């Protein structure tokens, strides 16, 4: 299944800005993210990003860092088509969350998954922000 052939690809620099703004201004993350402190890799195949969260705010968002440039605790990896499904206002079935896409598509959750579980509520919300922000792939 192709998620959304017509979903526009957001330029990388613009995406970094809008994702950061959306997260830092999201009422839910700001209400519940006091301890949302972790670093994770978003691997979107054509681009990858390391998101460093400190107390619910985006402290750093590294774009396509080199192999050993920036450390991270866990990663969320999937192909371009899967991420494009996440980047639509109403994602089709199986593109609507990291559990769904991990069970039914090509998404992988790797590394220290315990850290993901410790921050699951805020990560879930942050990934859902892609529905309004779009994806840079």
Q: Which residues bind another protein (CB under 8 A)?
A: 90-91, 93-94, 96-100, 103-104, 113-114, 117-118, 120-121, 124, 131
Q: Shortest distance, CB of residue 92 to another protein, whole angstroms? A: 9
- Shortest Å, Cβ 119 to another protein: 9
Sheet containing strand 38-43, strands side by side? 57-63, 48-54, 38-43, 74-77, 108-111
- Kindly tell me which of 16 and 83 has the beta carbon lying closer to another protein: 83
* Identity of the residue, 16 or 123, whose beta carbon is nearer to another protein in the bound complex: 123
What would the DSSP string read from start to end of 20-58? HHHHHT-HHHHHH-TT--EEEEEE-SS-EEEEEEETTEE
Distance CA 6, CA 52 (A): 31
Residue 59 or 113 having the CB closest to another protein: 113
- Name the residue with tokens 């703004």: 21
Nearest approach, Cβ of residue 101 and another protein (Å): 8
The C-alpha atoms of residue 58 and residue 15 are separated, in whole angstroms, by: 13
- Using the minimum distance from each CB to another protein, give the nearer residue, 62 or 109: 109
Q: Which two tokens stand for residue 45?
A: 């195949």
Q: How far is the CB of 73 from another protein (least distance, A)?
A: 13
């Amino acid at each position: 299944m192709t998620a959304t052939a017509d979903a526009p690809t957001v330029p990388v620099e613009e995406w970094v800005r809008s994702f950061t703004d959306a997260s830092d201004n999201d009422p839910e993350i700001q209400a519940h993210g006091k301890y949302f402190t972790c670093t994770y890799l978003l691997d979107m195949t054509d681009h990858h990003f390391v998101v460093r969260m400190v107390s619910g705010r985006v402290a750093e968002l590294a774009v396509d860092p080199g192999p050993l440039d920036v450390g991270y605790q866990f990663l969320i990896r999937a192909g371009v088509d899967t991420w494009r499904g996440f980047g639509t206002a109403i994602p089709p079935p199986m593109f609507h969350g990291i559990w769904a896409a991990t069970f039914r598509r090509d998404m992988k959750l790797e590394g220290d998954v315990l850290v993901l579980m410790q921050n699951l509520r805020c990560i879930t919300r942050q990934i859902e922000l892609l529905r309004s922000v779009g994806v840079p792939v």
